[in-house]
């Protein structure tokens, strides 16, 4: 009798787990996005979980990179973009700049978390600047 009850419970749990909906936002995973604009090439890699409704917001590991691809005297920047789970509004994270000139690349390792509103989607923005004026830019969303 005990064996039969254990087996019945095991079958029920297996059936429940295999019928639960799978959602890329629920599982830990890695996303990579990149874009090129006049004078700049950049990318973002995000590793971790997203927030589900009524769920939680985990800290995610982020790698940002940008390369200056034009000998034009301008510097290049990259930043992370996130959309909030609560209202899908966009949060613009701080720029990371490469002032080292043509042919150089920089990479930054950091983390991102929005414990209040959660993160629904993630993007990358890459731009060429003259001082604080953005000249050219591109974005790519996960």
- For the chain, the domains span 28-141
pLDDT-based confidence at 120, cuts 50/70/90?
A: confident
The CATH architecture one would assign to domain 28-141 is Sandwich (2.60)
Q: What are phi and psi of 67, to 5 degrees?
A: -125, 140
Alpha-carbon distance of 62 to 113, in angstroms, equals 10
pLDDT-based confidence at 130, cuts 50/70/90?
A: very high
Q: What are phi and psi of 42, to 5 degrees?
A: -150, 170
Q: Are strands 40-48 and 60-68 parallel, antiparallel or unpaired?
A: antiparallel
Sign of CA dihedral 11, 13, 15, 18: negative
Average pLDDT, rounded, for the chain: 78
The answer to whether the predicted template modeling score (pTM) of the entire model surpasses 0.85 is no
More confident residue, 100 or 48: 100
């Amino acid at each position: 009798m005990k064996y039969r009850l254990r087996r019945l419970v095991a079958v029920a749990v297996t059936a429940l787990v295999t019928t639960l909906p799978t959602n890329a936002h629920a599982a830990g995973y890695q996303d990579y996005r990149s874009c090129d604009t006049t004078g700049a090439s950049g990318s973002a890699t995000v590793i971790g979980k997203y927030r589900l409704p009524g769920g939680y917001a985990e800290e995610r590991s982020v790698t940002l990179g940008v390369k200056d691809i034009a000998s034009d005297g301008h510097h290049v920047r990259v930043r992370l973009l996130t959309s909030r789970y609560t209202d899908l509004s966009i949060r613009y994270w701080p720029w990371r700049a490469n002032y080292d000139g043509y042919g150089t690349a920089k990479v930054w390792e950091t983390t991102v978390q929005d414990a209040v509103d959660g993160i629904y989607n993630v993007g990358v923005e890459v731009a060429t600047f003259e001082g604080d004026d953005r000249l050219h830019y591109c974005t790519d969303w996960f």
